Structure 1
Amino acid sequence: MRPVVRKWGYLCAVTLSVAVWPWMATAQLAVAPAAASVPASATSAPTDSGTAVLADIPFAVADAAAPLAPSAADAWGGERTGTEATLSDRVVSYRIDAELDATKHAVTGREHMTWRNRSDRPVSHVYFHLYLNGFQNEGSTWFTERKVLTAHGRSRGEAALKKGEWGWIDLQQVRQGDAALKWSFVQPDGGPTTDQTVVRIDLAEPVAAGATLALDIDFLSQLPRVVERTGWFGDFNLVGQWFPKIGVLELAGERGAIAPRWNVHEFHFNSEFYADFGSYDVNLTVPSDYTVGAVGQLQGQPQAANGKTTYHFMQGDVHDFAWVAAKGYKTLDGSWQGPGSPKVALKVLYPPEYVGSAQTQLKASTDSLDYFSKTLGAYPYRTLTVVVPPYNADEAGGMEYPTFYTTEGYTKVEPGTPNQYASDFVTIHEFGHGYFYGILASNEFEEPMLDEGLNEYWDQRMLRERGQSIDLTTPLLRRLGFAPAFPGFSVERMASGLKQPADPLGENAWDRFSSSSYGTVYSRTATAMHDLEERLGKDVTERAFREYYKRWRFRHPSAADLRATLIDVSGNAKAVNEVFDQYVYGTARIDDRVASIDTVEVLPQTGSVLKDGKRTEFNSSEIDKQIDKQREDWAKVHSNAKPGGGPFPWSSTVTVSRDGAQVPQLLRVKFADGSSEDVKWNDDRRWARFVFTKPAKVVSAALDPEQKIYLDANKLNDSLTTKADGTASRRWSADVASLLQAFYALVGSL
């Protein structure tokens, strides 16, 4: 999903982060009450009658977050070598026949699902996600949390649903063979009892260890008007999270689990999704004058009859399926192929009003295929479908599914404009989810940093390699002589909330201090990984992430697995552990500063001196005459010398101070004669003094002179001069003025 405040494009996100971030931090998230206790045992227990009953397998805890312990080597079937029959260890399969009622924006569906019990014990009931029920009324967990956010700040989607605009999934029948099954709604995270986004289905016959369950489900999915992520507007239907989807049964050694557990969280306002890998075989019937795009490959030619057309899509080794059906849409086709990847058929689906950005989005997608396959690993699928929502359905944009994503549309995209940067960034970001959310398939409920955060970091690396900054130049600014541009990582730093981080990056998606704190999952993770890259080196970091992708593709890694891989490849456990302990698992802040520069000329002193066995005593007048004589003699020889030198050395003391976590620092000291000296400050002292005795005095000192430490909360106090210099303040004033001017120009154009 795109970052929370990208609604008006990336420029607005930058401006808002600088101008209103302190006020946004007051938006409080509702904290769900503790979940009802669930039996911890999953073994059979005898009853008084002597018959055996199956105790519940517990839920993952309601406050689950990034685990500390790495997953077992054989987690999720072990590392994929590429020699297996399938890319993933397929756990589930779905065969769905669905028909869209375009007038009612409703989908009738029949689903045949098979699911393999990977555990060592029988399972007597299973849990399914019914995500669309998050939009059925204001009593859902999603709306309950949204109310608090919109009352105290802003959120991504703020549209109010009216009568006839709500969305839901109704289970009409669930069968196991010939047996009709019963179901009930549960709230694994202790949310309101009115939430119906998770359903428990009681089986007629338990599924034995290693056996496969088959269920037939008839359902009706009513799409909501687009409020966030999915839904309809006019003749546009984005059909996401639309079918009953089984939860994940995690085993011991997988993402911190110590015994089998159901990972099946409610649909929270800030959370996204998590599911098993499997295969999808889906028939979609829609009105014949609608354009259709979906996850996976189209099988054969669409079949038309009686004003309706049926499309057949299949895709293996993915963990979700979404599609779009829209009237009046256009199609732009392309293709791509890279080393180790199959030939990829690309398709951009767009409304006529956004024809101006279709080609730009196709190019950004092919460029992304190039970069991600080169730096992480081969793209394994044969299709990629990009959907541009129509005007007024913007909240359906910036959403990702395997081989399928939505982006943002623009009527005009000119090179070097904020529109181009926003269009490119959102497209690259949603493509990047295909790796971090799609192929690696981390748990977005519990560890959003592994998807949103790492993806944001890799997106900015790609833009950096392209040499693409946020160019805020407008015709008016050009006439005034301003051409402001901000590198992407600098913007991420400004949006990171570094002065007072409220939550660890490894916290789950919903249990956050504020909407702002969740938003920093994107920017603060990207900034932390940027700084870690500076410590490990660009090439080492890239090798480590390539290894992370190789080890954990199709296997649902955790933050602990990422940390272990970074250490293994880099060999620098100290740097990796510091970043993870301070930021992923903690809320450290950095603010190192140059506190003072004190200089004193080392002059001859009054008093008694023993030299060559003879003691000589000098009084102040004699010393003054000696000093004057040496100055005169020196000035005659050094008539063009810069101020700050002389016949006597200078003793300069630079004091640095630390207000926050330790980070390796470089101190660069410059002297009056133009020379400089670098000193490392790499210890746990809260302050340190560095003394320099040189022919010239110190005139300035700067920590992090090469600007590698973006996590420092206040970069303005990193340097100090002995003489006032207004250059920095004038530059910052000009940059801020330019930024605001560009922002107002953009808002005025909306």
Structure 2
Amino acid sequence: MVSYHIDAELDAAKHAVHGKEQLQWRNRSDREVRSIYMHLYLNAFANEGSTFFTEREVLTAHGSSRGNASLKKGQWGWIDLSSVRQADTDLKWAFVHPDGGPATDHTVVRVDLAQPVPAGGTLTLDIDFLSQLPRVVERTGWFGDFNLVGQWFPKIGVLELPGERGATQVRWNCHEFHFNSEFYADFGLYDVRLTVPSDYTVGAVGQLEGQPQTADGKTTYHYVQGDVHDFAWVAAKGYQTLDGAYEGPGSPKVAVRVIYPPEYVASARPVLKASIDSLGYFSKTLGAYPYKTLTAVVPPYNAGEAGGMEYPTFFTAEGYKEVEPGTLTQGLLDFVTIHEFGHGYFYGILASNEFEEPMLDEGLNEYWDQRMLRERGQELDLASPLMKRLGIVPKMDGFTMERLTAGLRQPPDPIGENAWDRLSSSSYGSVYSRTATAMHDLEERLGRPVMEKAFREYYKRWRYRHPSVADLRAALIDVSGKPEIVNQVFDQTVYGTAWVDDAVTSIDTERVEPLAGTFVKDGKRTEDDASARDETVDRQLTDWKKQHPEAKDGQGPYPWRSIVTVRRYGASAPQTLRLNYADGGHEDIAWNDQRRWARFVVTKPTRVVSAELDPQHTVYLDADKLNDSYATKANGAASRRWAADAAALLQNLYSLLGTL
């Protein structure tokens, strides 16, 4: 559908890229096209009047986010079109604002063609451009002799046809560069030549063709890659490389390279291992990795905003000076590496529209990353070295971490909504964790094998084809055969803002004793006196206790009626209510209806002493897990445990001080 032939040269001193681009694009529609739309993403960093900066001011006032770095004089970035030619005709262009952004935003341009492109025809444009990289503020830019060159060339928007992602007519999809959004583009071929100073290390999307050519202190690298929808590269002075490889069923042999600064040499091997492990897991669970290369870049100190970013066959990780096995640092480094690699599937190969449906990339990728970590048995180690020396080693599994950061109570926006029209950056950020949590709960209801089969089918149907949320739902329904379960999760969480909070609110117990009053028996009315009844009951209780000295509290000669009340403060979700009895037994009851409250009455030889919703801890969407349980008597085990831990900590501290 599109191909790019680009010759680019880096001016390392100015952090600027001079480029010549030949764009070839095929009109797939049934009508002629007179104008095209292109992204000029780097103009997001040209001034404070861009959509990016105006949204940043509002959204970060109501939530935290990355991308908050300030740009000073000489640090702004932009992209200038020097010329756009169709054959021998210079074309005119104008900046447009498809999302209603400010007039000062120049991230989308409409180019009016000299000759329309007929239905099924091909357009060729020759474009000269200058890209000035910003000081790293988000996803792209420079710091010192490090240049991460992303979103750097004029890129055509997507002409969608009826039936594609809900389109009802032919339409251009070309959004402004929003503060909370990423990207969407057509698949195609990239043939790119990069000229840089010869003492710079280079890595890029795709495969290096032939040997680099060196002349006059400059070296030209030629990269080619098909079936991708973007191209990014890095050029950095004094950087080192670490190489490995992956071989697996259905994949070509994959050359894996880590490019890193000397100060973060400790991060290189963990990033390489996590990358190779990710190739294996995603290939096994979704589909074979189709490319021959994978490049991971570790940004330098003070360029952290360049980390954690993805492109096809190319991503940036994070850097640490020390990475000890089993530490929090290794856990964080592994997670970021796996996450950015995972984008190669959800952003790269499936290529959903991240502007309009970010949950299909950020959210689903987060979910699949946590599945991989779960299979590895890898938990987040929260202990510092000092805590470990003191014997305190708290850990947290990945899905628990996700639910704690998901903003489950009264979320302001559905996770299936677009990236930019949200209450805050925090609401956008919850797309990651709330999607992962929702998919976790859906997996618990459908079963892990069914969920994995459904995702393999989703990947098989939609790789290289830009799926929508509706396509994901259809795959889940088709494979599971349980539309009522899938639709409930999607209606409540993906398309809606429903939230779950079920609670056990009370337990009432009483012995089922002989009744006082008048009764008709054998046609005659008799009266049972309450005082006589009470005396009989007391005598039988005393005799029973003498005969059963080992009996537990709650047992006796009379059965017990226990009434357990539960309440539903949010949306309905299938729950299991576990009743724990005084004799040590328990009973599970399903609560799967729409009632806002329910009373469960049981009559047993023993009484209920505690009750708990979700005893298997599978309903992670429940916003408040503390009200899931209730006991008839206070249990001081938790407070005693914390007190014992505190005492142990103090003892260790005193022992440590005594050795000084």
TM-score if structure 2 supplies the norm length?
Answer: 0.96
Structure-1 separation of matches of 2:76 and 2:259: 26
Aligned partner of 1:278 in structure 2 is 188
Percent sequence identity is: 74
Tell me which amino acid in the other structure corresponds to 1:286. V
Matches within 5 A, 1:23-34: none
CA shift, 1:344, in A, is 0.1
Matches within 5 A, 1:416-427: 416-427=326-337
CA contact (8 A) 1:582 1:588 kept: yes
Alpha-carbon distance change, 731 to 635 in structure 1, aligned in 2, over 3 angstroms: closer
Cα displacement string for residues 358-390 of structure 1 (whole angstroms, at most 9, x for unaligned residues): 000000000000100000000000000000000
CA contact (8 A) 1:527 1:711 kept: yes
Tell me which amino acid in the other structure corresponds to 2:117. V
Alpha-carbon distance change, 734 to 118 in structure 1, aligned in 2, over 3 angstroms: farther
Tell me which amino acid in the other structure corresponds to 2:322. K
Alpha-carbon distance change, 736 to 150 in structure 1, aligned in 2, over 3 angstroms: farther
Alpha-carbon distance change, 342 to 295 in structure 1, aligned in 2, over 3 angstroms: same
1:321 aligns with 2:231: yes
SS of corresponding position for 1:268? coil
Aligned partner of 1:334 in structure 2 is 244
Aligned partner of 2:590 in structure 1 is 680
CA contact (8 A) 2:65 2:426 kept: no
1:641 aligns with 2:551: yes
Aligned partner of 1:265 in structure 2 is 175
Structure-2 separation of matches of 1:506 and 1:736: 44
Aligned partner of 2:654 in structure 1 is none
Structure-1 separation of matches of 2:627 and 2:74: 56
**Candidates 308, 330, 336, aligned match of 1:398:** 308
CA shift, 1:586, in A, is 0.3
CA contact (8 A) 1:187 1:195 kept: yes
CA shift, 1:472, in A, is 1.2
Structure-1 separation of matches of 2:638 and 2:186: 53
Alpha-carbon distance change, 734 to 567 in structure 1, aligned in 2, over 3 angstroms: farther
SS of corresponding position for 2:226? strand
Structure-1 separation of matches of 2:397 and 2:25: 47
Aligned partner of 1:207 in structure 2 is 117
Name the structure, 1 or 2, with higher relative contact order (CA <8 Å, separation 6+): 1
Aligned partner of 2:514 in structure 1 is 604
Alpha-carbon distance change, 266 to 735 in structure 1, aligned in 2, over 3 angstroms: farther
Structure-1 separation of matches of 2:643 and 2:58: 36
SS of corresponding position for 1:378? coil
1:178 aligns with 2:107: no
CA shift, 1:151, in A, is 4.0
Count the aligned residue pairs. 648
1:238 aligns with 2:148: yes
Aligned partner of 1:136 in structure 2 is 46
CA contact (8 A) 2:60 2:424 kept: no
SS of corresponding position for 2:555? coil
Over the aligned positions, Cα root-mean-square deviation in angstroms equals: 1.6
Aligned partner of 1:476 in structure 2 is 386
CA contact (8 A) 1:441 1:556 kept: yes
Structure-1 separation of matches of 2:500 and 2:333: 33
Aligned partner of 1:726 in structure 2 is 636
Aligned partner of 1:670 in structure 2 is 580
Tell me which amino acid in the other structure corresponds to 2:386. L
CA shift, 1:146, in A, is 1.1
Matches within 5 A, 1:522-561: 522-561=432-471
Tell me which amino acid in the other structure corresponds to 1:699. V
Alpha-carbon distance change, 453 to 733 in structure 1, aligned in 2, over 3 angstroms: farther
Unaligned 5+ segments in structure 1 are 1-90, 739-750
SS of corresponding position for 2:411? coil
Cα displacement string for residues 182-215 of structure 1 (whole angstroms, at most 9, x for unaligned residues): 1111011110001000011110000000001000
Aligned partner of 2:541 in structure 1 is 631
Matches within 5 A, 1:113-512: 113-512=23-422
Aligned partner of 2:609 in structure 1 is 699
CA contact (8 A) 2:77 2:135 kept: yes
Aligned partner of 2:622 in structure 1 is 712
Structure-2 separation of matches of 1:376 and 1:299: 29
Structure-1 separation of matches of 2:568 and 2:639: 23
Structure-2 separation of matches of 1:373 and 1:267: 32
Unaligned 5+ segments in structure 2 are 649-660
CA contact (8 A) 1:297 1:382 kept: yes
Aligned partner of 1:659 in structure 2 is 569
CA shift, 1:605, in A, is 1.9
Alpha-carbon distance change, 150 to 613 in structure 1, aligned in 2, over 3 angstroms: closer
Tell me which amino acid in the other structure corresponds to 1:208. P
1:574 aligns with 2:574: no
Alpha-carbon distance change, 302 to 212 in structure 1, aligned in 2, over 3 angstroms: same
Aligned partner of 1:589 in structure 2 is 499
SS of corresponding position for 2:444? helix
Cα displacement string for residues 123-172 of structure 1 (whole angstroms, at most 9, x for unaligned residues): 00101000000001111101111122344443312221112111111000
CA shift, 1:241, in A, is 0.5
Cα displacement string for residues 489-539 of structure 1 (whole angstroms, at most 9, x for unaligned residues): 001001011112000001100000011100100000000000000000001
CA contact (8 A) 1:484 1:735 kept: no
Structure-2 separation of matches of 1:637 and 1:518: 65
CA shift, 1:626, in A, is 1.6
Structure-2 separation of matches of 1:239 and 1:673: 68
Structure-1 separation of matches of 2:385 and 2:314: 37
Structure-1 separation of matches of 2:182 and 2:639: 42
CA shift, 1:620, in A, is 2.6
Structure-2 separation of matches of 1:377 and 1:120: 33
Structure-2 separation of matches of 1:664 and 1:152: 34
Tell me which amino acid in the other structure corresponds to 2:298. V
